[in-house]
Amino acid sequence: MNILIIEDDLRVAQLTQRGLEEQGFIVTLAYDGLSGKKLALQNEYDLVITDIVLPKMDGIDLCREVRQIKPDLAIIMLTALGTTDDKVEGFDAGADDYLVKPFEMRELLVRIRALLKRNSKATQNMGFILRYADLEMNLHTKIVKRDTKDINLTPKEFKLLEYMMQNPDRVLSRVEIAEKVWDTHFDTGTNFIDVYINYLRKKIDKDFDQKLIHTKSGMGFILKLE
């Protein structure tokens, strides 16, 4: 597996590189955002690990621009910023996961393996079109429509809706969504999942009389015709 690390802190970059190489990964380093973006677009990597605060181009813009060209490239953000708003901004830019510094190498390895495993199986054994009621999702083109109306979703909103459409008429707990969509456990105090559910509601249900996304108090959320 080839991994690109974009990190301007030389010590953190080299320690992370050493830890990953000990596990058999092939690692390339970049120390600023522009160099990192150039490498990410010119070469083939299985995963990009990037800091947010970088010289020349920050990790948010880097992630957003790389996503436009390589929508399926796995991206993990490493940062000292850990609030819900910071995480939402990172995921909206297209990050698949988010790890707050300082972190333990074993936690990073768990995130990497889960992410690479999930991405390798993302479209196995399923059709390319998901449908529920008048909602349609194309897993290849990433186009979502409801009653022929195009719905523009961020990458993380898309993944959340995809999981809900794969599991319709079933209550999904916050813990399950965190594990299956984000491959991680979030602190119970965060309103992270609720933020994204609200984003989806505004885009999927707002202009339609028939609501599809519902909250089950104390249990979670469900995609259901009511």
Domain with 183 in it: what CATH number? 1.10.10.10
| Intervals of the chain under pLDDT 70 | 81-84, 118-127, 184-190
At residue 187, the pLDDT reads 54
Specify whether 34 is located in the same domain as 135: no
* Same domain membership, residue 161 and residue 95: no
pLDDT given for residue 7 in this prediction: 94
The span from the CA of 104 to the CA of 215, in Å, is 35
**Same domain flag for 93 and 186:** no
Query: What b/e sequence results for 106-129 when a residue is b if at least 16 CB atoms lie within 10 Å of its CB, and e otherwise?
Result: eebeebbebbeeeeeeeeeeeeee
User: How far, CA to CA in Å, does 59 sit from each of 9, 43, 110, 126, 182?
Assistant: 14, 18, 22, 33, 19
Helix (H, G, I), strand (E, B) or coil at 179: helix
- 14 and 86 share a domain? yes
Q: How far is CA 121 from CA 78, 116, 118, 218, in A?
A: 24, 9, 5, 31
pLDDT score, position 140: 81
pLDDT at res. 98: 84
**Taking the model in full, what pTM does it have?**
0.59
Same-domain check for residues 32 and 134:
no
Phi and psi for 13 in degrees, rounded to 5? -60, -45
Overall domain count for the chain: 2
Structure confidence at residue 119 (pLDDT): 64
Structural domain range at position 190: 129-223
